Amino acid sequence: MGSRKVVAVAVVAAIGLSAGLVHAEPTVGSPLVGEYCSAGSSISGTGASFAKNAHNNVFIPAYDGDCGEGAVSYSSTGSGAGKLATRNRTHAFGGSDEPLDATEVAIDSGDTGDPNAPNPGGRVSPLHHIPIALGAVTVSYNLAICGITGQEAISLRSPMIAGIFSGAITKWNDPLLTLENPNLANCNRSITLVVRADGSGTTYAFKDYLSKRNPLFQAYKSNDFNTAWPAEDLGLNTPVRGPGNGGVADGVKNNDASIGYVELSTAKSKGLKWALVDGATGVFNAPDDGRSANCELAATGATHPPSTLSPGWDAVSITDTPNPLAYAICTFTYALVYNDLATAFGGAMSRAQAQTLVDYMNRALEPDVQDALADHGYAPLPASLQAVAQAGMASVAYV
């Protein structure tokens, strides 16, 4: 496919090159149409650990298979860092599972009218939310010390999970837990909470789910409280913290009687055990449907803005689904994409780098690559949302 032509074009926020930042004069008015593989234009992205395995195990291998290795890299630093990279233009693209709110979009696009804003006038560009994959957040546990070693050996309703992370439930043999799980009756152990140390879109999705059963978590899912937990604030249970989904997974593995929330592909790669969880209908489901994340039904028909430049992506939620066959803690993961690249980067992105970024994102959104996500602990976007994402990418230009 090395000679394939690209007509639809796009690019993502914040340029960070594997060999350092490269400055080049933009070619004003040039459309991003050209060869599918752009030589000598390496780029890197950073952000959501939720998306790490999607990029590194699916998207990048697909692109490398067409264009040769080494053009694109992705580092897992958390959604908070992905947002910051977008704002500061330090990487070619930023990844986040937590969409930006209206204030963040205005700041990042340079549209605040405030000369003291982080991106003041002169670097004005609209900003896309490009959904790139679907994934599940597991509720993972380590109860080997209580003789519970099986996969999906416990079932947790959302009020139970909210009770655990609010500090209302601190023992594994709490009567509220043993009602559904008689195998916990003799597990007289204190619950060890494992949570993220960094700003996290996985945390945002998990708290979004909890907030639909316990209003206490509505405030805790906001940016200012992303790393805070009521159990700790109320002095009821001090959590263990880890960086990224991998850090939480390791925390669960390394602490007896522990529970944490971990993105499915990471939980699978780390060999974690996870609980069955219920949604709005009260039906228990697993995060893994045997091949992929059990999230396609949760996302099908989900309400979302009409375009990737439209406001309102921060209101998109597919947790606590009313579909009795779908898992209840699912989320989209996004690439944050500037619409006017040469303007947004002020000459810090070359045309070839922009083309690489366009090619890479377009490849990630193609049906065969989306389908491949299922074999790596994710789920493909619904066809209607793939079309929205592809249309968004097609509007991006190097002008």
The mean pLDDT value for 376-396 works out to 93
11 pLDDT more than 50: no
Q: Which of 51-55, 95-99, 219-223, 372-376 has the lowest mean pLDDT?
A: 219-223
Do both 28 and 110 map to the same domain? yes
Q: Residue 263's closest CA among 116, 138, 144, 348?
A: 138
Q: Find the range with the poorest average confidence among 187-196, 223-232, 325-334.
A: 223-232
Residue 388 sits in which domain range? 5-133+336-394
Q: What is the dihedral sign for C-alpha 375, 376, 377, 381?
A: negative
Could you write out the three-class secondary structure of 108-165?
A: HCCCCCCCCCCCCCCCCCCEEEEEEEEEEEEEEEEEHHHCECCCCCCEECHHHHHHHH
Q: Looking at the structure, tell me whether residues 152 and 183 fall in a common domain.
A: yes
pLDDT of residue 26: 31
Cβ atoms of 263 and 136 closer than 8 Å: yes
d(CA 302, CA 299): 5
Whether 18 has a pLDDT exceeding 50, the answer reads no
* Average pLDDT over every residue of 281-303: 92
Tens-place pLDDT, residues 31-82: 444 445 765 688 889 999 999 999 999 999 999 888 877 889 999 999 999 9
The answer to whether residue 399 is domain-embedded is: no
What share of residues in the chain are helix, strand, coil (percent, to 5)?
35, 20, 45
Segment 334-348 mean pLDDT: 85
Q: Are residues 145 and 294 in the same domain?
A: yes
> Measured between alpha carbons, how far apart are the two ends of the chain, in Å?
27
Query: What's the CATH code of the domain at 369?
Result: 3.40.190.10
**Is the pLDDT score of 27 beyond 80?**
no
Domain-embedded: residue 312: no
Residue 342 pLDDT: 82
Flag whether 321 is in a domain: no
Residue 136 contacts residue 288 (beta carbons within 8 Å): yes
Q: What mean pLDDT comes out for the span 236-250?
A: 97
Instruction: Answer yes or no: is 80 within a domain.
Output: yes
CB 158 within 8 A of CB 129: no
Identify whether residues 151 and 294 lie together within a single domain. yes
pLDDT digits (tens, 9 = 90+) for 76-107: 999 999 999 988 888 888 999 999 999 898 88
Of 247, 274, 299, which residue is a domain's last?
Answer: 299
HSE-CB for 220 with a 13 A CA cutoff: 23
CA–CA dist 314, 83 (Å, integer): 13
- pLDDT tens sequence across 145-168: 999 999 999 999 999 999 999 999
Instruction: Establish if 326 belongs to a structural domain.
Output: no
Q: Are residues 60 and 114 in the same domain?
A: yes
| Single residue among 299, 326, 344 that ends a domain in this structure | 299
Within-domain flag for 315: no
The answer to whether residue 310 sits within a structural domain is no
Query: Is 226 domain-assigned?
Result: yes
Residue 117 shares a structural domain with residue 93? yes
Are 249 and 292 within one domain? yes
Q: Of the residues 299, 324, 352, which one is the last residue of a structural domain?
A: 299
Q: Which helix (H) or strand (E) holds 86?
A: helix 79-88
Higher pLDDT, 9 or 50: 50
What is the total count of domains within the chain?
A: 2
Distances (CA, A) of 366 to 35, 277, 376, 387: 17, 31, 16, 10
- Say yes or no: 245 and 125 in one domain: no
Q: Which of 288, 229, 290 is closest to 260 using CA atoms?
A: 229
Q: Based on the domain organization, do 99 and 198 belong to the same domain?
A: no
**Pair 54, 35 in one domain:** yes
Whether the per-residue pLDDT at 25 is higher than 80: the answer is: no
Do residues 113 and 149 share a domain?
no
> Containing H/E element for 54?
helix 52-54
Query: Do residues 281 and 380 share a domain?
Result: no
pLDDT given at position 119: 52
**In the predicted model, what is the mean pLDDT of the chain?**
86
Prediction pTM value: 0.88
Q: Give yes or no for residue 16 having a pLDDT over 70.
A: no
